[in-house]
Amino acid sequence: MVGAYASTSSTPISSSVNDATVDDSEKDRTQQLRVGRLTKAHGLKGAIKLELFTDDPGRRFVPGAVFTLQVPTGSAWHGKTIELVELRWYNQHAVGFFKDVVDRSAAETLAKAILWIDADVAEQSDEEDAWYDHQLVGLAVMRDGVRIGTIGRLEHMPAQDLLIVKTPTGDVMIPFVKAIVPTVDVKNGLVTITPPPGLLEELPEDEADSAAAGAVPKTDSEGDSEPDAAASAHMTDEP
DSSP string, the chain: -B-SSS--EEE----SS-GGGS-HHHHHTEEEEEEEEEEEEETTTTEEEEEE--S-HHHHS-TT-EEEEE--TTSTTTT-EEEEEEEEEETTEEEEEETT--SHHHHHTTTTPEEEEEEETT-----TT-B-HHHHTT-EEEETTEEEEEEEEEEE-SS-EEEEEEETTEEEEEE-STTT--EEETTTTEEE--PPTTSSSPPPHHHHHHHHH-S--EE-TTS-EE--HHHHHHHHS--
Tell me: the pLDDT tens digits for 71-108?
999 999 999 999 999 999 998 889 999 999 999 999 99
Quick one: pLDDT at residue 1? Answer: 55
Q: Is the pLDDT of residue 22 over 50?
A: no
pTM score, whole prediction = 0.51
What CATH number was assigned to the domain covering residues 137-192?
A: 2.30.30.240
Domain range list for the chain: 9-120, 137-192
* Domain 9-120: homologous superfamily in CATH: RimM (2.40.30.60)
Tell me: the pLDDT tens digits for 156-166?
776 678 899 99
Tell me: the pLDDT tens digits for 201-226?
754 555 445 444 554 444 444 444 44
Quick one: pLDDT at residue 198? Answer: 81
Tell me: the pLDDT tens digits for 122-171?
554 555 566 777 788 899 999 999 999 999 988 877 667 889 999 998 99
